[in-house]
Amino acid sequence: MATAGISFSPVGPVPFEDVDGELPASERPAPEGIDDGDDHLADMVSSLPSKMEVNLPLKLRLYRGFWLAEIHVPAAVALRRRFVPRPDDVIVASLPKCGTTWLIALTFATMARHVHHPPTSAPASASSHPLHRLNPHQCLPFLEGLFAPVLMPDVSFAETLESYRDDDGGAKIYGPFWDHILGYWHASTEVPDNVLFLRYEELLRDPAGNVRKMARFVGLPFSEAEEEAGTVEAIVELCSLDRMRGFEANRTGYVDAQRKIPRETLFRKGVVGDWVNHMTPEMARRVDDIVADKFSGTGLTFK
């Protein structure tokens, strides 16, 4: 099992109120301190365990079992207490470097296809699809009800995975990796109508099949007419790594010129098994051991 080459991309409306047996969001009391000068919140944040990020000059706080950037904790608290998802909201929840950008592109292109038609016959360069002008992360605000996490800095998946290991010195943002993955894995088996669990390798192996699966999951299955017109293949093509790299939005060398985030942060090789170029056999063995230990008995496997 090539554990270090695995990426995980669970998609789906997360049943917030079910996560830990708390009251439904709509019935929870308003959070103290968020609206009124927030002394309580500041105290709460500074009382949380803290560590530095292993790759970044960033202070993390352990909030509800996960390492978040300290500056994001107040928003996470507010979101947790106040966000009441609508039944048709879709949240793309993927760890950094696990194929988030691709998944957002596919989800956006699929969900927005009746407004922004994927080019089925015209040359892709002639299309006015938003994905030509904006990187996938920037497309999110254009589709109500589709949410996803933030853009991450320039490190590869192998580096990310390696740094998710337990480490006394620091922690990895959004980690522990294993708990994140297992949380969504268990949710996908318990409430399969609400959580769809996808693997990067599966997407690479059968992008069209997985786009169909995702479309059914979000309640927008492809019609016969769409199938005949080649809409699924058009979406896959539109979102392919080569196409994305060449789009106007990504041609400058930066996916975010203002924040100086280089294109390769989002669009690099996109292959399975590149971990051999980043990890020593010893590192790979260690990761394999951790995976075997953490995932044993959970039913979660990778082929």
Contacts with ligand PPS by CB under 6 A lie at 94, 96-102, 151-152, 156-157, 239-241, 244, 265-270, 274
Strands (E), the chain: 8-11, 50-53, 59-63, 66-69, 90-91, 146-147, 170-171, 196-199, 254-256, 261-262
Using DSSP's 3-state secondary structure scheme, residue 95 falls into coil
CA 95, 100, 104, 106 dihedral sign is negative
Q: How far is the CB of 303 from ligand PPS (least distance, A)?
A: 18
Measured between alpha carbons, how far is 99 from 247 in angstroms, rounded to an integer?
18
- Torsion-angle region of residue 145: left (phi > 0), alpha (psi -120 to 50) or beta? left
Measured between alpha carbons, how far is 20 from 60 in angstroms, rounded to an integer?
22
94 or 110: CB nearest ligand PPS: 94
Q: How far is the CB of 166 from ligand PPS (least distance, A)?
A: 21
Contact assessment for residue 168 and residue 63, using Cβ atoms and an 8 Å cutoff: no
93 or 152: CB nearest ligand PPS: 152
Q: How far is the CB of 273 from ligand PPS (least distance, A)?
A: 9
17 or 154: CB nearest ligand PPS: 154
44 or 148: CB nearest ligand PPS: 148
Q: How far is the CB of 134 from ligand PPS (least distance, A)?
A: 14
145 or 262: CB nearest ligand PPS: 262
Task: Give the Cβ contact number of residue 68 at 10 Å.
Answer: 20
Q: How far is the CB of 177 from ligand PPS (least distance, A)?
A: 13
Q: How far is the CB of 179 from ligand PPS (least distance, A)?
A: 18
218 or 239: CB nearest ligand PPS: 239
**Rounded to the nearest 10 degrees, how much is the dihedral formed by the CA atoms of 253, 258, 260, 263?**
-30
Q: How far is the CB of 141 from ligand PPS (least distance, A)?
A: 16
Nearest to 145 by CA among 214, 88, 215, 84: 88
Q: How far is the CB of 137 from ligand PPS (least distance, A)?
A: 7
233 or 274: CB nearest ligand PPS: 274
Return all residues near 215 (Cβ < 8 A) that are at least 6 apart: 110, 221, 222
Q: Which two tokens stand for residue 225?
A: 């007419």
Bond into 31 cis (ω within 30): no
73 or 152: CB nearest ligand PPS: 152
